[in-house]
Structure 1
Amino acid sequence: MPVVSQKRQVTLPVEQCSIAGIQPGDEYESFVSRKGVISIVIKHKGAAKGLLKGIPVNDQVNEEESLASAMR
């Protein structure tokens, strides 16, 4: 069973990486839900290009507040 190291590092099982398409050196984001579930999302360069085009920007909300509201 994998364990968290002293440096809080986690090794992902090879089988899970294969299924998720995770390769050594890939960049990722991790998120924790209120229920304590950790999600790992691979970052793909250009994946969101044009996704938010035309959506107005709300400068009154910072990135942390935006992320917190999305995780509720």
Structure 2
Amino acid sequence: MHKVSSKRQVTLPKDLCDQTGIFPGDYVEIFEFNGKLTVIKKVVGSSAGSLQHLKPRIAIRDNESLQDALHDCH
């Protein structure tokens, strides 16, 4: 069992880090679903090119997009 510190920190067990390839200095993402936490190691470049298939809509200007986004916030 692991104790949460006063700073809400938890030490990851070395054996689990070894099994999952998590090393000091790595970044992890923590997700909550149905009251359970999941820790996932972030891999630099893993999402590179994932939006590459999307094409910009030249007809929409930056200012128009900004005004549309601001309008949706209110």
TM-score, length-scaled by structure 2: 0.66
Show the 5 A alignment for 1:1-72.
1-33=1-33, 35-55=34-54
Cα 1:5/1:50, change in 2 over 3 Å: same
Q: Structure 1 runs of 4+ off > 3 angstroms?
A: none
Query: 1 or 2, which has the higher helix percentage?
Result: 2
SS at match of 2:15: helix
Ranked by relative contact order (alpha carbons within 8 Å, sequence separation 6 or more), the top structure is 1
Q: Percent identity?
A: 39
Q: Mind listing any 5+ residue stretches in structure 1 that lack a counterpart?
A: 62-72
SS at match of 1:19: helix
- 1:68 paired residue number: none
Q: Let me know the Cα RMSD of the aligned residues.
A: 2.3
Q: How many residues align structurally? A: 59
Matches of 2:7 and 2:55 in 1, distance apart? Answer: 41
Matches of 1:2 and 1:56 in 2, distance apart? Answer: 47
Cα 1:7/1:53, change in 2 over 3 Å: same
